[in-house]
Amino acid sequence: MKREVVVAAAVTTAATLVGLAVFFRHWRRRSERRWRQVRRILRNLAWCSATTAAKLWDVANELACDMEAGEKGGGNNIRLLVSYLAPLPTGDEKGTFYGINLRGTNFLILRARLQGKNEPVTELHKQEIAIPTAIMANADSTRELCDLIGLELSKFISQHSETDNEAQTRERKLGFTVSYPINEDPASSGIASKWNRLSVDDTVGKELVAEINEAFKKHGVDMRVFAVVNDTVGDLAGGRYYSKETVAAVSLGMGTNVSYIESPEQVLNEPSNPAETVINMEWGNFNSFNLPLTEYDTSLDAESLDPGNRIFEKLISGMYLGEIVRRVLLKMAQEAALFGDSVPPKLTIPYSLRSPDMAAMHQDTSEDYEVVEEKLKEIFDINDSTPMAREIVTEICDIVAERGARLVGAGIVGIVKKMGRVENRKSVITIEGGLYDHYRIFRNYLHSSVWEILGDEHSDNVIIEHSHGGSGAGSIFLAASQTHKNAHS
């Protein structure tokens, strides 16, 4: 009897072991199939996103051609707007100056001291003021917005004692810049929609100047705004203050924009006009068959608020980089179970992955990608990711960031090429924005792409610098140039 029991137990154990072996073999094969699918999706993403030096040159050349066409009133992609016709800083301006930077949901008030082109910006003070929702939602609330700015500026001035002895002996100008609001939420639009496409003959800009100066008078602010311009014009002024070879400024944050200097006769056919002409180039709307688009870019564009527009911006700006990564992760979760048998519900939420979080994961140097693990938990409620899955996340971030950064580099080369400065003249390009400031790998890819495109022979002719004074500080330099101009006129 005992012998029969032992034999039965042995048979049962053997059957169990065989069953387990079959189960694990099946599990292993399924796991291998999933990982092959993950790698297949990743390879396809890398192939479609490739930016060879030849492709980058094609993009640069086409952008330069579009700029030429835009100056002649043609071109289908980008629009060139004459944004500033007054003298830019020379580096000789000194004193304490004030500025306003109007942004999507808030505005910055700034105050700083300039001591000449050989000295850095000092005594920089900034205050951020939120714009009430009621004002933001109403496209006709310009007067209320300006009244708020005048009130807050008067408070700001009273809190910072005036140390500039020249303040009482000159008419003071205040620089006023606008950062384009970029948001895929239509509920946040309203008055912000009026800020786009500011130019020297823009009625919205003139309305804002008149209203803000009236508000200053009402609140006892002894300053005047001379023009409302986009923030890249201010950044360009800051670059010109420190180097006469500064020819363009790039904004690279949630959105993107560019301003560059052109001779007046080139654009306005007015060779007698002594002022430098600053062109605002809406390069975010640039499009080309040479842009390396993927299925994720196509779906993102189709589902955006403005399908078919701002294609270049959707490839390079902080608003969209994280969203592209999320879409790739969602496909891997759906088709290859990257995060387990079920798709994490929060992974399906559009724009839930922000570019700062993408940068943090991409730049994770810990052995088991601990930062990636924490971000996946925090953003998508993914609590059991494997080290291999986390590595895949960083590879996706790298592909998307590299493509975006290298396209920015191609765009910069295209601008310099259009200006005829690639081969024999130094050109300084200033860049400002959170994407450039805080995303180290993105910044490195951008710089290296310019060197790769131009080669050893010409790469030293293009110098990329961080904007002076940080976000919004361009308004300070505009105020300095206008105050200095009046003092010597």
pLDDT score recorded for residue 468: 81
Average pLDDT along the chain: 84
| pTM of this structure | 0.87
Model confidence at 266, pLDDT cuts 50, 70, 90, reads: low
Least confident of 34-43, 261-270, 319-328, 366-375: 261-270
Least confident of 79-93, 115-129, 268-282: 268-282
User: Coil, helix or strand for 353?
Assistant: coil
pLDDT score recorded for residue 169: 47
Per-residue pLDDT reduced to its tens digit, 166-197: 555 456 789 998 886 555 444 444 444 555 55
Model confidence at 86, pLDDT cuts 50, 70, 90, reads: confident
At 121, phi and psi to the nearest 5?
-65, 135
pLDDT score recorded for residue 190: 44
pLDDT score recorded for residue 76: 64
Arithmetic mean of pLDDT, 364-369? 93
CA–CA dist 46, 43 (Å, integer): 5
Q: Are 98 and 479 in contact (CB under 8 A)?
A: yes
- Name which of 223, 303, 234, 283 is nearest 410 in CA terms: 283
Q: Are 299 and 275 in contact (CB under 8 A)?
A: no
**Is the torsion defined by CA of 71, 73, 74, 80 positive or negative?**
positive
